[in-house]
Amino acid sequence: MSYKVEALPDSYAALGEGPHWDVDRQSLYYVDLESAGINRYDFKQNKVYKSKIEGEEFASFILPVENKPQEFAVGCGRRTVIVQWDGVSAVAKVTRTLFEVEPDRKDNRINDAKTDPNGRFYGGTMATSGDIFTQWNGDLYSWQAGGQPKSIREKVGISNGLAWDVKAKKFYFIDTNNHEVLAYDYNQSTGAVSNPKVVFDLRKIRPEGPLFPDGMTVDTEGNIYVATFNGGTVFKVNPSTGKILLEIKIPTKQITSVAFGGPNLDILYVTTANKFDQPKPAGTTYQVTGLNAKGYAGVSLKI
């Protein structure tokens, strides 16, 4: 199979994360996490619009709000806030807080978050100081409109990749610090998850040591795509067998997350980071074509 990896124009983010394909606007939303940056790649224009959220330090994810074209849920510290943005302006504003987690854990922040196929929120926390790769002080939460955030997993190190396969009735979750992907049984009607099992182990893939799994997505055939923060690679994996089907090489080391998008949902968008002085082109956002696979569009958050 010959796939093609191309940089999106002017797509740099020092810590790119949280790619979300929005069908209505034919746009890829993603964040520049440690500078409260929110970005929109317009497919038709082949152009990235960049904005900063006024008065905030972090933007750890961006999720369009259902039926509110200029409202987005964004992770700012331990809060999930509603941000007003027209998708073009260089400045965006917080209008209110939707919910907050862990008010007593001042050192934590929300990391990756997504919506499930029914528009519920799932996301988790991590430490922000010390060696973040050797602490397990976070939780994974779910939230739905009208309710309070509910912890669904404790002792999480760095809460990261999230993906759902409705056909297989599975929810996939990555805690980066555990070097593995978990599969939970997933009840779409209630949102409940249970019975976690390891389906992909990244400890022994490379002789130089364990790989750090980061963001994740699924394709329509049930394969998972796992970004590796220290591996320069996205692995396509069959979660039923744990077998690597394809290693997608990206021309920089810190691969943070992945999402399918494009008019036919057959382009894999890949965010990267430039942490700890990586050489160029670290921090570039990429598109991968020719994978002969399709994924699912992002789902807007119901509030």
Alpha-carbon span 16 to 252, nearest angstrom: 13
Q: Token pair 């790119």 is at which residue?
A: 16
The reply to whether 108 sits in an annotated binding site is no
Kindly tell me the burial class for residue 226, based on how many C-beta atoms sit within 10 Å of its own C-beta (0-12, 13-18, 19 or more).
Answer: buried
Question: Which member of 116, 139, 175, 214 is catalytic?
Answer: 214
The reply to whether 274 sits in an annotated binding site is no
| CA distances, 134 to each of 166, 200, 215, 276 (Å) | 33, 20, 19, 18
The reply to whether 17 sits in an annotated binding site is yes
The reply to whether 109 sits in an annotated binding site is yes
Q: What are the residues whose beta carbons fall under 8 Å from the beta carbon of 187, sequence distance 6 or more?
A: 169, 193, 194
214 classed as catalytic: yes
Q: What would the DSSP string read from start to end of 179-240?
A: TEEEEEEE-TTT--EEEEEEEEE-SSSSTT----EEEEEEBTTS-EEEEETTTSEEEEEETT
The reply to whether 214 sits in an annotated binding site is yes
Alpha-carbon span 35 to 14, nearest angstrom: 8
Q: Which residues are annotated as a binding site for a divalent metal cation?
A: 17, 160, 214
Q: Which residues are annotated as a binding site?
A: 17, 109, 111, 160, 214
Question: Catalytic residue positions?
Answer: 214
